[in-house]
């Protein structure tokens, strides 16, 4: 097993996750099998109890692991399926060591950070690296390990120490350290400054780690003299210094690495010459260029709670993007804060109220993603009502599906107080109820989590057809509440179709209004399994319906799990069509790939739009 460790220096939010995933893509393109591990030095056992406001979305794995969103980047870029153990946290490591201590496994010794914690980290890495994640048997050839945080953080010290020991243990030729750093340009002189990188490399060396490759984030390609300077001061050969300059979308990053021959540098460090073949990235090149040349817009309103932080809905955004690219459309996302749609905000903040409704009404399609807690729920219900009554394509995910059921019960069945027991525990008409297997006292890992099977009961429904008319599908879940089985009968009689159910037939998984152009809700989260080139069926349905192309899509019959070739015969796009962004015709700005913006604009290479209150 060969290991590539990716560390970050100078500042956080450099796009280390995207860089590490792109290195994985490049190595995979060289014919190697690749797996990955993300180390998060925080004390939480996993990301499950962390607020998306702080950390971005919680990514759910097949095995029910609730992980950092970077695992989503790895799964999407490498088309692999990771396990919960591929996300290491300080919490997990300490728990493991303390459990061992309680069992008496340390035989009376004093248990210490060095060697016990550091040994546990190394054992964990070696064990997890061997788990096959690409559907084939046997361990991968290369494991990419990303160390979260920035060099110098107190929290990451035990990991740095462990990784230093680990690199020595696996030996030269088996370990390659890529350090991602920042080369800023000072506006006054316009000069690329190397000092921050020099300092960060010095810090790394001081901790016992030697970088083999420098990946420098910068607005433009590094000047030759700047590379020479970095090489001299950081003791890294110039051919091992790559620039990750700003690109129009993140699919360019693996191409950027290939152009600068990063694969050759890594091959040399890892003794892969003769094993790694010349990388072919045609599919990535086609996709990156296609994405840049899409002009016909499709406008999707995301009605949510965390609309100020697009990372909170990263997989949803990516799934929308995959589907839009598959339909050759330019995705424009309008963020609609659910609370602003609510009646009280008309008085309290009329400008926000008006702006929110304007965005909702201007959208081609509406998406209500998953969520917890009652803030904004009434606004989401209003959005579902608007979509249902005005025949606007609608996709509700998890909570989004639950609120669609509540809305239907209120408006169509006339149960005005219908609600979820999550928000009004003693409601008279609970159409969403607590699931028997949940826990109200322990929040971590106690939901219905991970991959579960959904059986399609209504074969000629849009959702079943979108999934390729298969009898069942496995998707990932994360919920505590479900549709009240006692109310299913009345809802069905009133015209709400439950097209997908679990293996018992008692748990509702997919809803649909057959008479509506596209009104679909899923209790599962289809976004987690969407991939570039293999867009999620329900997202494809939403995008196609939003462009008036759903019939065409359903007739083509090749929706689910077929690789959506980029070389298809669909005409590309009309280059003359104009994208309206914030009300004005605008060219997309050049972006820092992977950088997280808090106030709309570009997010992870994605063109998004958020209204402001002024
Ligand atoms: N809060 C809801 C539940 O627990 C929905 C969860 C979600 O949207 N992920 O069932």
Q: What is the pLDDT of residues 55-81, one digit of tens each?
A: 889 999 999 999 999 999 999 999 999
Residue with tokens 């499709």: 298
CA of 397 to the centre of ligand 1 (A): 9
Residue 576 confidence (pLDDT) above 80: no
The stretch 218-240 carries a mean pLDDT of 93
- Residue 276 three-state SS: strand
Residue 586 confidence (pLDDT) above 90: no
In ligand 1, which atom is closest to the CA atom of 397? 8
Answer whether 238's CB lies under 8 Å from 202's CB.
no
Residue 613 confidence (pLDDT) above 60: no
In ligand 1, which atom is closest to the CA atom of 372? 1
Q: Among 188-197, 449-458, 473-482, which is the least confidently predicted range?
A: 188-197
Highest-confidence range of 188-197, 242-251, 299-308, 375-384, by mean pLDDT? 375-384
> How far, in Å, CA of 541 to CA of 527, rounded?
13
Please tell me the predicted confidence (pLDDT) of residue 521: 98
The stretch 218-233 carries a mean pLDDT of 92
Residue 491 confidence (pLDDT) above 90: yes
Q: Among 21-35, 68-82, 186-200, 574-588, which is the least confidently predicted range?
A: 574-588
CA of 447 to the centre of ligand 1 (A): 9
Residue 587 confidence (pLDDT) above 90: no
Q: What is the pLDDT of residues 528-573, one digit of tens each?
A: 999 999 999 999 999 999 999 999 999 886 555 445 555 443 333 3
Q: What is the dihedral of CA 200, 203, 205, 209, to 10 degrees?
A: -80
3-state secondary structure 118-137: HHHHHHHHHHHHCCCCCCCC
> How far, in Å, CA of 239 to CA of 243, rounded?
11
Q: Among 7-11, 196-200, 475-479, which is the least confidently predicted range?
A: 7-11
Answer whether 464's CB lies under 8 Å from 500's CB.
yes
Answer whether 610's CB lies under 8 Å from 325's CB.
no
The stretch 224-253 carries a mean pLDDT of 93
> How far, in Å, CA of 59 to CA of 76, rounded?
12
Q: What is the pLDDT of residues 101-130, one digit of tens each?
A: 999 999 989 999 999 999 999 999 999 999
Q: What is the pLDDT of residues 140-184, one digit of tens each?
A: 999 999 999 898 889 999 999 999 999 999 998 999 999 999 999
**pLDDT confidence band for 307 (50 / 70 / 90):** confident
319 DSSP 8-state letter:
H
**pLDDT confidence band for 508 (50 / 70 / 90):** very high
The stretch 591-596 carries a mean pLDDT of 31
Residue with tokens 């460090």: 269
CA of 372 to the centre of ligand 1 (A): 6
Listed in sequence order, the residues at least 6 apart from 552 whose beta carbon sits closer than 8 Å to its beta carbon are 544
CA of 472 to the centre of ligand 1 (A): 22
Residue 12 confidence (pLDDT) above 70: yes
Please tell me the predicted confidence (pLDDT) of residue 147: 96
Work out the angle between the directed axes of helices 70-78 and 16-29 (0-180°, nearest 10). Answer: 20
In ligand 1, which atom is closest to the CA atom of 422? 1
Q: What is the pLDDT of residues 445-475, one digit of tens each?
A: 678 999 999 999 999 999 999 999 889 999 9
In residues, how long is the chain? 614
- Percentage, residues of the chain above pLDDT 90: 77
> How far, in Å, CA of 446 to CA of 51, rounded?
16
Q: What is the pLDDT of residues 313-346, one digit of tens each?
A: 999 999 999 999 999 999 999 999 999 999 888 8
Residue among 49, 431, 480 whose CB has most ligand 1 atoms within 8 A, to mutate: 480
Q: Which residues are catalytic?
A: 398, 525, 527
Residue among 47, 398, 449 whose CB has most ligand 1 atoms within 8 A, to mutate: 398
Taking CA atoms only, the protein residue closest to ligand 1 atom 5 is 399
Residue 224 confidence (pLDDT) above 90: yes
Taking CA atoms only, the protein residue closest to ligand 1 atom 6 is 479
Q: What is the pLDDT of residues 343-393, one digit of tens each?
A: 888 888 899 999 999 999 999 999 999 999 899 999 999 999 999 999 999
**pLDDT confidence band for 581 (50 / 70 / 90):** very low
Taking CA atoms only, the protein residue closest to ligand 1 atom 8 is 370
CA of 428 to the centre of ligand 1 (A): 20
CA of 202 to the centre of ligand 1 (A): 46
Listed in sequence order, the residues at least 6 apart from 271 whose beta carbon sits closer than 8 Å to its beta carbon are 173, 174
Torsion angles phi and psi, residue 284, rounded to 5: -70, -40
- On the question of a cis peptide bond just before residue 541, with omega within 30 degrees of 0, the verdict is no
> In the structure, which protein residues have their CB atom closer than 6 angstroms to any atom of ligand 1?
370-372, 398-399, 422, 478-481
* pTM for this model (two decimals): 0.89
The stretch 88-92 carries a mean pLDDT of 96
**pLDDT confidence band for 429 (50 / 70 / 90):** very high
Please tell me the predicted confidence (pLDDT) of residue 274: 83
Answer whether 255's CB lies under 8 Å from 240's CB.
no
In ligand 1, which atom is closest to the CA atom of 370? 8
Please tell me the predicted confidence (pLDDT) of residue 11: 84
Taking CA atoms only, the protein residue closest to ligand 1 atom 9 is 370
CA of 158 to the centre of ligand 1 (A): 36
The stretch 224-232 carries a mean pLDDT of 94
Please tell me the predicted confidence (pLDDT) of residue 579: 31
Kindly report the average pLDDT of the chain as a whole number. 88
Answer whether 213's CB lies under 8 Å from 262's CB.
yes
């Amino acid at each position: 097993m060969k290991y590539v460790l990716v560390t970050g220096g100078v500042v956080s939010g450099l796009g280390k996750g995207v860089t590490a995933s792109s290195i994985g893509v490049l190595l995979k393109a060289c014919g190697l099998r690749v797996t990955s591990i993300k180390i998060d030095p925080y004390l939480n056992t996993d990301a499950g109890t962390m607020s998306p406001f702080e950390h971005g979305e919680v990514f759910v794995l097949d095995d029910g692991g609730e992980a950092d969103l970077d695992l989503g980047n790895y799964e999407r870029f490498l088309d692999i399926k990771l396990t919960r153990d591929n996300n290491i946290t300080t919490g997990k490591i300490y728990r493991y060591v303390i459990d061992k201590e309680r069992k008496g496994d340390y035989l009376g010794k004093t248990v210490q950070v060095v060697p016990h914690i550091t040994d546990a980290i190394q054992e964990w890495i070696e064990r997890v690296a061997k788990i096959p994640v690409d559907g084939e048997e046997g361990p991968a050839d290369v494991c990419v390990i990303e160390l979260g945080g920035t060099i110098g953080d107190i929290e990451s010290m035990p990991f740095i120490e462990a990784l230093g020991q680990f690199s020595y243990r696996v030996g030269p030729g088996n370990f390659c350290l890529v350090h991602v750093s920042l080369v800023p340009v000072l506006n006054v002189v316009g000069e690329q400054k190397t000092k921050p990188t020099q300092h960060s490399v010095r810090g790394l060396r001081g901790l016992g780690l030697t970088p083999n490759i420098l990946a420098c984030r910068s607005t433009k390609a590094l000047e030759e003299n700047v590379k020479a300077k970095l090489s001299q001061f950081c003791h890294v050969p110039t051919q091992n210094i790559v620039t990750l300059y700003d690109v129009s979308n993140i699919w360019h990053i693996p191409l950027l690495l290939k152009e600068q021959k990063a694969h050759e540098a890594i091959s040399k460090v890892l003794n892969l010459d003769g094993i790694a073949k010349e990388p072919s990235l045609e599919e990535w090149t086609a996709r990156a260029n296609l994405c840049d040349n899409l002009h016909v817009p499709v406008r999707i309103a995301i009605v949510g709670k965390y609309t100020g932080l697009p990372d909170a809905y990263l997989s949803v955004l990516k799934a929308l993007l995959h589907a839009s690219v598959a339909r050759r459309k330019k995705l424009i996302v309008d963020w609609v804060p659910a609370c602003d749609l609510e009646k009280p905000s008309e008085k309290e903040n009329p400008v926000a109220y008006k702006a929110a409704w304007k965005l909702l009404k201007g959208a081609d399609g509406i998406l209500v993603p998953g969520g917890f807690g009652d803030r904004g729920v009434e606004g989401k219900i209003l959005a579902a009502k608007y979509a249902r009554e005005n025949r606007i394509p609608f996709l509700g995910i998890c909570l989004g599906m639950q609120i669609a059921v509540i809305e239907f019960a209120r408006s169509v069945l006339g149960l005005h107080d219908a609600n979820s027991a999550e928000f009004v525990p003693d409601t008279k008409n609970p159409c969403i109820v607590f699931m028997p297997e949940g826990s109200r006292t322990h929040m971590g890992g106690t939901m219905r989590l991970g991959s579960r099977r959904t059986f399609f009961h209504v074969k000629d429904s849009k959702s079943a057809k979108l999934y390729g008319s298969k009898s069942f599908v496995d998707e990932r879940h994360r919920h505590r509440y479900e549709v009240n089985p006692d109310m299913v009968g009345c809802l069905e009689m009133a015209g709400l179709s439950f097209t997908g159910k679990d293996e018992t037939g008692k748990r509702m998984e997919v809803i649909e209004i057959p008479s509506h152009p596209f009104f679909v809700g899923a209790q599962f989260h289809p976004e987690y399994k969407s991939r570039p080139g293999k867009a999620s069926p329900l997202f494809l349905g939403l995008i196609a319906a939003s462009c008036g192309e759903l019939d065409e899509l359903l007739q083509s019959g090749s929706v689910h799990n077929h690789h959506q070739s980029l070389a298809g015969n669909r005409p590309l796009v009309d280059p003359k069509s104009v994208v309206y962004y914030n009300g004005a015709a605008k060219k997309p700005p050049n972006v820092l790939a992977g950088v997280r913006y808090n106030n709309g604009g570009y997010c992870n290479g994605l063109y998004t739009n958020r209204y402001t209150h002024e």
